[in-house]
Amino acid sequence: MKKTLLLTSIATLLFSGCAIRPTQALIYSDATAPLQATNVSAEATRIGESDECTNILGLVARGDCSIASAKKNGNISTVSSVDWKGTNILGFYSTGKTIITGK
C-alpha cells in the first residue's frame, strides 16, 4: 500500500502540469509559444510584455502575466497577437510572461 501511494504521489508531481505552459520539457525548457492571433493582417507597431509570473512547486504562484498587463506596459489598445514566453526547471520552478503585439 505504501509503495502504491508513493508511486501515485511521484506520478502526480511529474505529470500534473502545475508549473507548465504550452511548451514543456522533462528537465528544462525556455521557449516562446503562440497563443492567439486576432488580427495578423493589421500592422503591429508596438510590443508589450506583461509582468512576470512565478510558480514554485505548484504551491506558490504570484505575478500578473495577463494580457491587460502587457497592453498597459506596451501602451497598446488593439491586440494583433498573443504569445507566451516561459521557463520551466524540472516542473518545480517556472516563470512566464505574456507578449503581445498591436497598436
Q: Is the pLDDT of residue 39 over 90?
A: no
Q: On the CB side of 97, how many CA atoms lie within 13 Å of its CA?
A: 12
* Model pLDDT for residues 44-58, shown as the tens digit of each residue: 789 999 999 999 988
Please give the residue that has the higher pLDDT: either 74 or 29. 74
Give me the pLDDT at residue 20, please. Answer: 42
Q: Is the pLDDT of residue 4 over 80?
A: no
Cell 525556455 belongs to 30
Which three cell numbers mark 99? 507578449
Q: Is the pLDDT of residue 59 over 80?
A: yes
Please give the residue that has the higher pLDDT: either 22 or 45. 45
Domain range annotation of the chain: 2-102
Please tell me whether the overall predicted TM-score, pTM, comes out greater than 0.75 for this model: no
